Amino acid sequence: MEKLILEKINFVSTYVSDIDDWIIIKKELLKQLPPKLRMLFSRRDEKTKKHSLNMFEKEIIDYWKRLTGITLIIKDK
């Protein structure tokens, strides 16, 4: 992963470290990153509107777990 991405994950973890909802963390990261890096994140399915994870996001979730000890999950409403 790029150094900038790791820096932003570390920054976001300082103010949302007790949350286990992947969508909230993803939104916070998207606010912090430039458009070039935002394109690496997955989009919702057009028909079902459900979220899915790509390999890049799985790497972020693994790093988040090592950093905070919290496993991020997708919470369906």
Q: What is the pLDDT of residue 4?
A: 94
Query: According to the model, what pLDDT value does residue 77 have?
Result: 58
CA distance 16 to 51: 21
Q: Does 14 have pLDDT greater than 90?
A: yes
User: Is residue 17 predicted with pLDDT exceeding 80?
Assistant: no
Tokens (6 digits) for 1: 């992963």
- CB-based burial label for 51 (10 Å; 0-12, 13-18, 19+): middle
- pLDDT digits over 22-60, tens only? 999 999 999 999 999 999 999 888 888 888 899 999 999
pTM of the model: 0.89
Please report, for the chain, the start and end positions of each structural domain, with discontinuous segments joined by +: 3-68
